[in-house]
Structure 1
Amino acid sequence: MTAAQLRALHRPGNPVILANAWDAASARAVQAAGFPAVATSSAAVALSLGYADGEATPVEEMLDAVARIARAVDVPVTADLERGYGLPPAQFVERLLATGAVGCNLEDSDPRTKKLIDVDRQADFLAAVRAAAGADVVINARVDAYVRGAKDQAEDRTRRYLAAGADCAYPIGAAVAADIGALAGIGPINVLFTPATPSLAELAELGTARISFGSGIHEALATRHGRMLAAIAAGASPYQE
């Protein structure tokens, strides 16, 4: 699978929908359901490996998990790799491609401090990743302005990251239709689908190019798992709500 195939799925107004996976089994389920690509969720992968989100997973373990997912499916894989785990851009690209993945998410706040990275510094980082990758990686540049209390920076960061070479900007936390429409007017954007966002059809009408679910599916399954375990512990059937 190639980056060109993944990139071609990003069509504003007819977005690619990504049901995020966290291991080989969930990735195979995504493909079996008919999705044209698989995206990983850094939080879900981290939890499945026994770590917290926020680059607490050793980079080798995270990349190994991505490689297992890529080997398990016959569709393009894009990996959520937080802020790159401190790897220099050229090394980051080399190791990403070695997993078999052809895309990545890169966020613009520090996973540990939760503070936004200076926009010039982040744009330079994305440009360096693009230079190292050429056309071989689809870059989804996460814009953390909404989740870091700096909504007023979202449009500027979106413009800057797309200009730096990102294929798509990801204003995570954007949920108001007017905001999403304005951001989609700048260039291709990824919207995180949540109960607070417009419907899938409405997001398409607003011009989004990509819709993902992040760790939402993993969280829903974990909640269901917890209810089943509680039922068993109480001596009841886990198969009845």
Structure 2
Amino acid sequence: MNQVEKAKAFGALHQKGNPVVLYNIWDAGSGKAVSDAGAKALATGSWSVAAAQGYGDGEKLPLEALVATVRSITAANDLPLSVDFEGAYSTDKAGAAANVARLIDAGAVGINFEDQVVGGSGLHPIDKQAARIRAIREMAEAKGIAFFINARTDLFLKSTDPDRHALLVDEAIDRAAAYAEAGASGFFAPGLSNRDLIGRVCEAVGLPVNIMMRQGVPDVRTLAKLGVGRVSYGPGPYRAMMDKLKEAAEAVFAAAVQA
């Protein structure tokens, strides 16, 4: 498939009640492993990509390094690739669109695009975030690609007490509606774990809803029954692999000392 075909295929994978499962990667090698395991598409995690190159999350990884990573992944793998692009490395709509264009040129067919103020506090106002989404959509359409904009809200991640998440659902639904009208393709609600609230969001939001697997989140089959359209794993795969690497290295060094 060429990039235009990959973008269409990636969008078609998002079906309410039959979610596409994305086991997040961080480089070309991890992409190859996940592809060989039977993935239908690939998706990076910003935390993982940054950590793999010695940087913290929150757009601390230089944009040039991220674009190079995207280019290497798409060169080595044939599956559609979505990139966790945080706040697009720009607070204004023109800058965001220009930076996303660089990812498209590197072979990506989608992004996660979050509404928190990266490096600041709180969330962008709904109208400002919608304007940024609209600018990205217009840029992608000009390039002739059905680019998948997975509009992420950080409402639930910002509130660390799950018992308070019910108070945030109405705002999340309002944000989803505004983002959809602006051209978003999906709605990402990381941090949301309560099955009843997930079901409520899926019922109210017209876009396919993305839930991130973490402690307390229902399993994939349950999420499917609730109407979820996309399941991702965030930094979990990277952390698991680094734990295994550390454990193996510790065993090697311990054996060397005893020899």
TM-score (norm 1): 0.93
- Cα-to-partner distance string for 1:40-59 (whole Å, 9 max, x where unaligned): 11111101111111000110
1:39-54 counterparts in 2 under 5 A?
39-54=43-58
Of stretches 4-13 and 226-235 in structure 1, the one that deviates more from structure 2 is 226-235
Q: Deviation of residue 6 (structure 1)?
A: 0.6
Q: 1:231 offset after TM fit, Å?
A: 2.4
Q: Report what 1:93 is aligned to.
A: 100
Which SS does the other structure have where 1:234 is aligned? helix
Structure 2 CA distance for partners of 1:163 and 1:236, relative to 1, 3 Å? farther
- Deviation (angstroms), 1:19: 0.7
Gap regions ≥5 residues in structure 2: none
Distance 1:136 1:78 in 2: 12
| Matched ranges for 1:200-239 at <5 A | 200-235=220-255
Counterpart pick for 2:150 among 140, 143, 157: 140
Mapped to 1, the partners of 2:27 and 2:103 lie a distance apart of 16
Per-residue deviation, 1:94: 2.0
Q: Is the 8 A contact 1:114 1:148 kept in 2?
A: no
Is residue 87 of structure 2 the alignment partner of residue 71 of structure 1? no
Please name the residue that 2:194 is paired with: 176
- Specify the code of the residue in structure 1 equivalent to 2:202: A
Q: How much has 1:236 moved relative to structure 2?
A: 7.4
Identity of aligned residues (%): 37
**In the TM superposition, what whole-angstrom CA distance separates every residue of 1:92-136 from its partner, at most 9, and x where no partner exists?**
232111110110111110221242111111111111111111243
Q: 1:61 offset after TM fit, Å? A: 0.4
Match for 1:59 among 44, 58, 63?
A: 63
Equivalent position of 1:37 in the other structure: 41
The question of whether the paired residues in 2 share the 8 Å contact of 1:158 and 1:171 is answered with no
Measure, in 2, the Cα distance between the counterparts of 1:172 and 1:25: 26
Q: How far apart are 1:229 and its partner, in Å?
A: 2.3
Secondary structure in 1 aligned to 2:217?
A: coil
Distance 2:172 2:251 in 1: 44
**2:80 alignment partner AA:** P
Alignment partners' CA distance in 2, 1:113 and 1:226:
33
| 8 Å Cα contact 1:116-1:148 kept in structure 2 | no
Which stretches in structure 1 are left out of the alignment for 5+ residues?
A: none
Using a 3 Å threshold, how does the CA distance of structure 1 residues 75 and 233 change in structure 2: closer, same or farther?
Answer: same
In the other structure, the counterpart of 2:180 is: 162
Aligned length: 237
Deviations 1:56-90 (A, max 9, x none): 01101011101111111111000011110117143
CA RMSD across the alignment: 1.7
**Runs of 4+ in structure 1 displaced over 6 angstroms?**
none
Change (3 A) 1:101 1:234: same
Instruction: Tell me how far apart the structure 2 counterparts of residues 163 and 144 of structure 1 sit (CA, whole Å).
Output: 19
Looking at structure 2, the residues matched to 159 and 174 of structure 1 have their Cα atoms a distance apart, in angstroms, of 18
Q: Which residue of 1 aligns with 2:23?
A: 19
C-alpha distance in 1 between matches for 2:251 and 2:19: 39
For 2:63 and 2:82, locate their aligned partners in 1 and report how far apart those are by CA, in whole Å: 16
Which among 115, 124, 138 is matched to residue 131 of structure 1? 138
Give the TM-score normalised by the residue count of structure 2: 0.87
